[in-house]
Amino acid sequence: MDDKGWRHKMRRPIFLKRQGRLPLMTMRHSPLKRYLIDPDIIQPPDQMGWAMHILGVLRRNRRMKLKKDHVKVGVTKEQLLAVTPPGVMEDQWREMVNYWFHEKTVRVSDKNKDNRDKQKEIATSGAQSFAQICDDMAKANGVPVEHADIYLKVYRRRDGTGVTPRAQENIVSIIRIEF
């Protein structure tokens, strides 16, 4: 490489026997990027944590998809172990299937299903906690937020209706009391 950043490279193709040397070919090197993610978006000290978080999310989603695709009602552990899906290492597949059919895992899964069935209302806030919503509303309005305001924000759809009939009844009663 010379002082201007040019690299001179001699090319000698192996498949061409009749030619000896080819003329010098010059290539301009671009400077290597130090970071994979633009530092303006995510600061360099936070990039490793962010990347590991994303890898964890991708891993959980992949395992969830594998379970959804392969674990069906009536399918035994032995049937799943007999066929490893493409793209999955055999020892990892065996480990996942053993985990899915482990006594404690099945018990916790059944308990969680029962608890989800008992929920009467479903919040529309996603992963955002009620405390975060309360804080955001307080900052936007400039005054402290009441529980009724949070309920109206979290249990209503964009069109103003409740997410469930019970939530709709509660919304109507809150509006009636407030006004």
Chain segment 23-35, per-residue pLDDT in tens: 444 445 555 555 5
pLDDT of 14: 44
As a whole number, the mean pLDDT across the chain is 81
Give the pLDDT of residue 24.
47
Helix (H) or strand (E) segment spanning residue 26: strand 25-28
pLDDT for residue 57: 92
pLDDT at 25: 47
pTM for the model: 0.54
Of the chain, the end-to-end C-alpha distance in Å amounts to 78
Instruction: Round to whole Å and give the CA distance between 166 and 155.
Output: 10
Residues of the chain scoring pLDDT < 70:
1-39, 42, 179
